[in-house]
Amino acid sequence: MNVRLKRAKELAGYAVQLTKDEGLGTMLARGAGFVKRRCFGKKARYLPTKKVLEAQRAELAGQTADSCGLPTISILTPLYNTPEPYLREFLNSFVDQTAPNGQLCLADASDAEHDAVKRIVEEYQAKNQRIVYKKIENKGIAANTNAAASLATGDYLALADHDDILAPHAMYTMGKAILQLRERGEPDGFLYSDEALFSKSIQRPIVAHFKPDYAPDYLLCCNYICHLAVFQKALWDAVGGERPECDGSQDHDLFLRLIEQVGGAAHVPQVLYYWRVHAGSTSGGTEAKPYVAAAAKKALADHLARTGRTGTVEDGLFPSTYRVKWDIEGDPKVSILIPNKDHTDDLEKCLQSIWKKTTWDNYEIIVIENNSTDPATFAYYEKAKQRYDGLKVVTYPEKGFNFSGINNFGRKAAAGDYLLLLNNDVEVRNGDWLTELLRQCAHKGGAAICGAMLYYPDETLQHAGVITGLGGYAGHSHKYKQKGGSGYLFRIATVQDFSAVTGACLLVKASVYDEVGGLDEQFAVAFNDVDFCLRVRDAGCRIAWTPYAELTHYESKSRGGDEKDPAKAARFAAEQQRLYAIHGKENILDDPYYNPNLTRDREDFSESDDLRGLKAGKVTVRFRGGEA
């Protein structure tokens, strides 16, 4: 079956399920949105409607920054030989804000041949007293930004480039988001929004960057936060502003130092910033500024040193991405648990790949025999124990297939510091796969769980992390995508934070497994891994995924398809409902590591057919903690 046909079948199945769950009207509305987005124009699709923007202006009509009730945000913008059309567009975007709580702080390092920059700014200053300006000597982007900060009087600061454009509701939305955090008693020291790229007009954006909520592992691999970032001026002063030695990656460095103070960050899923794509802009890639990579690696290495962690920082799989190779603490033992029922050819391929390729030496393998019926299977076990030193085979005493029960039983025989749940139909591809899984967990502040990159035999992606809510329940990030790509915003090329990973290859600290009570045995076949990960996540632990641990997964060879068997289909539906009952449908549909403006209908990170939250200018914000 080709990829398009697979996706079509999955979309049709989702339409049927949506009709059952929410009615024909909802399904038709979603379908109409899909057709509208695919077949008609995309003009101003990330902007609130004119009615919404007018309502925001009306709400604060006649108010000043001091009287409007919103915290003042001072925008820091260094100017340098800014082309007049770009400068006027940028200044207009500030002047036309729907709320008066902004201050624009401009530090102008333009040379003598570009004195028009000062003249244009003074023209705008005459109309708007919230624009402050200072002529400075050019000392680099960080020093120039610091000079702009010296003009700021707001309690909050934000960063904006001189050739970009602020969304008209940027100050209003960020001000309201800060108030929401305060009302909930949550940290309001650092916030960021989504952004979009454009070339000529923000009415015709090229693409949006729809980001996850704060994802510390992701931030160590690339500066996914970018724009619009807003933070307390007191924190800026405490960390000493931007560091000139990190010019080129000065914002990434700043964000890491601010988050060290705040303990996390808050995300506002609105497009509040438009990043212009042109020659020389980093929005088009770091090839335009090759010194960025060296600065980023310094920022990351310094962050590790400040937080008392050890590892080396290397280039990532793609330009502008990076990789922290954490030093593994101690020599943790890993117990690899492999359920098996017959299918000894699959098991042999799995075992052979582990023993031949794995470079991490401290592991044990426990095969959990589950109701095999072929006598040759038991003969195979005896021969395998002779060929694979230390191999254990334990027999699950219950009848039938229960993935949770089988692994919980196998755990009793495990002596490792970590447990690795592994299907019998996987094959190891790279020798340091287990080392890479451990690197994400076995260090100070490490994740409790880590998953791997799994490929189908045809070299398409089977698993690059689990996102709850896809298809209504859960799906795999970038499923069916061809091997070798970077994915959406580098999300299959960098270590990621997820709500869940597949139990086909899942490393977990044994102590965490025990603390949450192992796998829930009422999830016999489906969603046991999702439920387990969500319970671990909700206990305050992180779930990571790494592209550097690679395996091939011959999916469903062990059990075959369930959808054709009425009894199995009924069991699957019951487990779907149990997932909702335990974790809440709204929580399942609202994965913090997946932006609400991305589709739930497919697994390819494409833009949602329903952008009503953006059109309505809905102000929502969510703080997540965690050490980067």
Tens of pLDDT along 490-533? 999 999 999 999 999 999 999 999 999 999 999 999 999 999 99
Looking at the predicted structure, is the pLDDT value of residue 156 above 50?
Answer: yes
pLDDT of 224 > 70? The answer is yes
Q: Residues 153-172: what's their mean pLDDT?
A: 98
Residue range 30-48, pLDDT digits in tens = 666 655 555 444 788 999 9
Distance of CA 411 to CAs 327, 339, 509, Å?
27, 11, 12
The owner of tokens 């003598």 is 112
Reported confidence tier of residue 9, pLDDT bands at 50, 70, 90:
low
pLDDT score of 560: 47
Mean pLDDT, residues 317-343: 97
Give Rg (Cα) of the chain: 26
- Minimum mean pLDDT among 168-177, 427-436, 559-568: which range? 559-568
Phi-psi region of 240 (alpha: psi -120 to 50; beta: other; left: phi over 0): left
Higher pLDDT, 22 or 498: 498
Phi, psi of 127 (to 5 degrees): -100, -20
Q: Is the pLDDT assigned to residue 483 strictly greater than 90?
A: yes
Tell me: pLDDT of 12 over 60.
Answer: yes
The pLDDT value recorded for residue 559 is 44
DSSP code, position 354: H
pLDDT at 512: 98
Q: Quote the pLDDT of residue 2.
A: 53
Q: Do 351 and 337 touch, CB atoms closer than 8 A?
A: no
Query: What pLDDT digit, counting tens, does each position of 363-384 carry?
Result: 999 999 999 999 999 999 999 9
Using CA atoms of 506, 381, 521, 463 in order, give the dihedral in degrees to the nearest 10: 30
> Above 50 in pLDDT, residue 164?
yes
**Per-residue confidence band for 23, with pLDDT thresholds at 50, 70 and 90:** confident
Please report which confidence band the pLDDT of residue 1 belongs to, taking 50, 70 and 90 as the band edges.
very low
As a whole number, mean pLDDT of residues 225-229 equals 97
Cα(110)–Cα(77) distance, rounded to whole angstroms?
13
Residue 424 and residue 340 in contact, taking contact as beta carbons nearer than 8 Å: yes
pLDDT of amino acid 15: 73
Quick one: DSSP state of residue 372? Answer: -
Which is higher by pLDDT, 278 or 417? 417
pLDDT over threshold 60, residue 198: yes
3, pLDDT greater than 50: no
pLDDT at 268: 98
Handedness of CA 201, 202, 204, 209 (dihedral sign): positive
Question: For residue 562, is pLDDT > 80?
Answer: no
- End-to-end C-alpha distance for the chain, whole angstroms: 41
| Between 7 and 139, residue with greater pLDDT | 139
- Write the DSSP symbol of residue 245: G
Q: Comparing C-alpha atoms, which of 489, 493, 465 is closest to residue 479?
A: 465
Is residue 177 pLDDT above 70, yes or no?
A: yes
Residue 10 has pLDDT above 70, yes or no: no
d(CA 329, CA 332): 8
Sign of CA dihedral 248, 252, 256, 261: positive
* Span 597-624, average pLDDT: 95
Query: Which tokens go with 323?
Result: 């990789």
HSE, CB side, 13 Å, CA atoms: give it for residue 97: 30
Residue 532 structure tokens = 């387990």
- The predicted pLDDT at position 563 comes to 59
Query: Is the pLDDT score of 285 beyond 60?
Result: no
Dist CA 546 CA 496 (whole Å): 7
Q: pTM above the 0.85 mark? A: yes
What confidence tier does 275 reach under pLDDT thresholds 50, 70, 90? very high
